[in-house]
């Protein structure tokens, strides 16, 4: 059960953290695993509901859930923020995508700054404030925030041990994330933990973008890196579209990550 919800605003960056604490939070000595979901405006409630129900079914441990969002109150503003903040490079937004993004800016490139804020400021502050286990972190991202998750996986792989990346926008900037994946194979921290990838079976193409094929290509790359310390899976969610995948992806993903 969810015991209490809290919110912390970062006025200097226009960001907000939504925190959900499990029932019995104050009653145990061991720290809790942490689930961080990006795009809190449309994922936090869903993630909390899934965690609650799977917890009641004893399919998940008790978790602290944190949603990372913006203080903006309109969908248009949020769409602009995510297009700017979740993309690893500055590049034109494909016209077929921009038409569906409420006039989102055509250039991004804010993922490095967002990553630094999340990992070097927000998470340490959460660690100091709440009873959470730094070795038990999960990151959830969808679409552009899934792209941001991939960027973090390939640049700071030790930040999380579990990754739930639904319909990630691996098409960004001519699939630049594939270049980052290749670079991450060079001497440096090896990939560890588990990566759950998903894509809607009805996504097919978003405009001229082959979502399913791109996600399959990404999964094939990650499968080449399987080891005793790293594994990945891909689930194609039958009947789901790009914007309908989140509930199914969160449920399937968390069950696989915590199996």
DSSP-assigned states of every residue in the chain: -EEEEEEEEETTTTEEEEEEEETTGGG-SSPEEEEEEE-HHHHHHHHHHHHHHHHHTTSS---EEEEEEES--SHHHHHHHHHHHS-SS--PPPHHHHTTTTT--S----HHHHHHHIIIIIHHHHHHHS-EEEEEEEEEEETHHHHHHHHHHHH-GGG-SEEEEES--TTHHHHHHHHHHHHTTSSSPPP-EEEEEEEETTTSEETTEEHHHHHHHHHHHHHTT-BTTEEEEEEEETT--GGG-HHHHHHHHHHHHT-
- Residue 224 in tokens: 């080449």
Among 121, 128, 123, 125, CA closest to 138: 123
pLDDT at 158: 96
pLDDT at 106: 57
pLDDT at 170: 97
pLDDT at 216: 98
Are 119 and 91 within 8 A, CB to CB?
Answer: no
Per-residue pLDDT tens for 68-89?
Answer: 999 987 888 888 888 899 999 9
Per-residue pLDDT tens for 169-225?
Answer: 999 999 999 999 999 998 777 899 999 999 999 997 666 789 999 999 999 999 999
Write phi, then psi, for 252 (nearest 5 degrees). -65, -40
> What is d(CA 79, CA 62) in angstroms, rounded to the nearest whole number?
31
Per-residue pLDDT tens for 18-34?
Answer: 999 999 999 888 999 99
Q: How is domain 2-70+112-170+179-257 classified at the CATH fold level?
A: Rossmann fold (3.40.50)
Contacting residues for 4 by C-beta, under 8 A, at least 6 apart: 20, 21, 25
pLDDT at 17: 96
pLDDT at 40: 95
> What is d(CA 108, CA 88) in angstroms, rounded to the nearest whole number?
7
Are 39 and 1 within 8 A, CB to CB?
Answer: no
Which residue ranges make up each domain of the chain? Answer: 2-70+112-170+179-257
Confidence of residue 2 (pLDDT cuts 50, 70, 90): low
> What is d(CA 31, CA 41) in angstroms, rounded to the nearest whole number?
27
Per-residue pLDDT tens for 121-179?
Answer: 999 999 999 999 999 999 999 999 999 999 999 999 999 999 999 999 999 999 999 99
pLDDT at 11: 76
Percentage above 70 pLDDT, the chain = 93
> What is d(CA 224, CA 14) in angstroms, rounded to the nearest whole number?
39
Lowest mean pLDDT among 103-107, 122-126, 226-230: 103-107
Residue 105: pLDDT over 60 = no
């Amino acid at each position: 059960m969810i015991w209490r919800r809290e919110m912390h605003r970062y006025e200097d960056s226009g960001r907000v953290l939504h925190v959900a604490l499990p029932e019995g939070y104050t009653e145990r000595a061991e720290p809790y695993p942490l689930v961080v979901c990006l795009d809190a405006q449309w994922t936090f409630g869903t993630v909390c509901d899934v965690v609650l129900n799977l917890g009641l079914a004893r399919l998940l441990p008790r978790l602290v859930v944190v949603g990372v969002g913006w203080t903006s109150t309109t969908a248009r503003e949020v769409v602009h923020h995510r297009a700017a903040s979740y993309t690893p490079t500055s590049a034109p937004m494909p016209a077929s995508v921009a038409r569906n993004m409420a006039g989102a800016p055509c250039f991004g490139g804010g993922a490095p700054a967002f990553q630094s804020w999340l990992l070097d400021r927000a998470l340490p502050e959460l660690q100091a404030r709440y009873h959470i286990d730094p070795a038990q972190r999960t990151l959830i991202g969808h679409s552009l925030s899934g792209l941001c998750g991939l960027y973090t996986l390939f640049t700071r792989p030790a930040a999380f041990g579990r990754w739930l990346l639904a319909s990630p926008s691996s098409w960004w900037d001519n699939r630049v994330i594939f270049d980052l994946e290749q670079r991450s194979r060079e001497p440096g921290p090896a990939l560890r933990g588990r990566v759950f990838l998903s894509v809607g079976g009805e996504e097919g193409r978003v405009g001229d973008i082959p979502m399913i094929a791109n996600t399959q290509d990404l999964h094939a790359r990650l499968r080449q890196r399987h080891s005793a310390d790293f594994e990945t899976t891909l689930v194609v969610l039958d009947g789901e579209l790009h914007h309908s995948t989140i509930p199914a992806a969160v449920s399937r993903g968390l069950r696989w990550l915590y199996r």
